[in-house]
Amino acid sequence: MSVTSVKLNTPAPYFSLSKGCDLPQVVVVSTFPTSPQYSIEDDISILSTHKCIPKMCTTRIVTGDTSIPMPIESVKANLNDSVRFIKLGKVDVEDLRIMQQTFNGMQNACVVASGHDMSKDAIIGFSSGKVETGSSTMVITLDEALAYFPEYFESIKKGEDNLEVAKLVAESSAFQNILLLNTAPGGNSHIYYSKQTGEQLNIESKSPVSMISSTVATAAIANLSHGYTIKEAIYGALEFVQNAVILADSNKHPNYMYSVSLPLECMVNDECFEAHEIRSPKISPLPKPKFDSFYQYLIQHPLVKPSWEAYTNHDFVRQIADGILDINKFKFFIEQDYSYLVDYGRVHCIAGSKAPELENMEEELVIVGRIREEMGQHEQRLKEVFGVKDDSYFKTIERGTALNNYSRYFNDIARRGSWEELVAALTPCMMGYGAAAMKFKNNVKAEKGGMYDEWINIYSCENYEDGMRLGEKILNHIAERSSAEELERLAKIYGEVCALEAQFWDAALVF
């Protein structure tokens, strides 16, 4: 019999800073069982993701037409007077009565409810003064509002005056704040209305995601429990639920845990991890593809090839080579690229900090040096050609949408991703500029020695080719360290960044 002894590690130093900090508790009050559309499991996932301690308080057990109230002691155990944050789940007027009998702290509590879960009688009960709270918010979809209060909305058609719908919900209830969801087709518009101040906030999503009021309400109460204002809380709740829906699993169930990391991954990468005996190599069920150059493999990969070809055959480069690109478009590009290179260099520094070997760190330092040289070339152009006088100009360049989208992508990979993923996100810039410029190396029609001729020469010269060979070497290194599944993930990243590069040049052409 084999006997192995290992030692558990202590908490990571950064985590240890939170010692003694109490997480907020959020109590979900609901009957049991819940409806098929309302899931306590979703509440638990959402609250846990938001670093809240979820507590469930069941008021009644309902079976068919039979309603069995839970013992008062059981309700009091979960709904004691210290509770400050409550999410009302599937509740009726009877549940509100039970809460009033058992809970003396309601007037100091922050309560969020949803039109998806509360019955109309419960909303009316809430409205008639049977329940008084410290603050209260109703999250309700437009369809739910019209279904609950048809007598008020006979003359209101969808999309005509949704603010009036929010106001009428507020007038018909005791809720101080109303968040009216899905006020436009596709579900990408929402309205917040404050009964107390009359303030209105319109919120639009870039993605057509139809919101479920119950899950938005849960995320909102979680944000409120951390001290955020009501407007901050509902914004965060809406974006969180939207992202969870977009990142749904294979069964199309929203992924409310998308931002949660696996503790074991941090543990085994800790410098003081000693239990190496328990580690075993990951066995991939897929065969690893064979190739001599990971770079060549990537640019032929179906997840990469369409974006790579759109990027490296972009009309922006052709217009530069032909000398016909509008000078103002080129100035816009140089400004945007200068700001991009600041971010690009910063992220390469992060890549160096994540690099596994000293050699890889040194390679990143070489790349950062070349990035600074390229920034110097941009500074020279803007000063000599476009008349920039003051160096402070470079700190005040207005960033465009394409630049922000691109920087957001690799900054996020830098924060959350591995070194291999970061390399995959950073190399398309270096490799693509060279590949695009070299197509015109011997066919530049722009004025000899002019700014456009110089630009093509910079990205097609021998020195730049040396940089590309270094990039290819690094790509081969990360391929050696990656499984078949990881190579697919790297290909996805590479392809998405190529698309962002093409959009960056698109922005210059439409300027």
In a 10 Å sphere around its CB, with 0-12 CB exposed, 13-18 middle and 19+ buried, how is residue 88 labelled?
Answer: buried
**Residues β-bridged to residue 28:** 56, 87
- DSSP annotation of 157 reads P
Q: Which of 369, 381, 379 is nearest to 344 (CA)?
A: 369
Measure the CA–CA gap between 462 and 304, rounded to whole angstroms: 26
The pair phi, psi for residue 119, each rounded to 5°, is -75, 160
The pair phi, psi for residue 452, each rounded to 5°, is -75, -40
Measure the CA–CA gap between 506 and 123, rounded to whole angstroms: 52
In a 10 Å sphere around its CB, with 0-12 CB exposed, 13-18 middle and 19+ buried, how is residue 87 labelled?
Answer: buried
Could you list the active site residues? 429, 501
User: What does the DSSP assignment read for 206-252?
Assistant: SS--PPPHHHHHHHHHHHHHTT--HHHHHHHHHHHHHHHHHT--TT-
- DSSP annotation of 86 reads E
Cβ proximity of 481 and 282 under 8 Å = no
Measure the CA–CA gap between 169 and 138, rounded to whole angstroms: 9
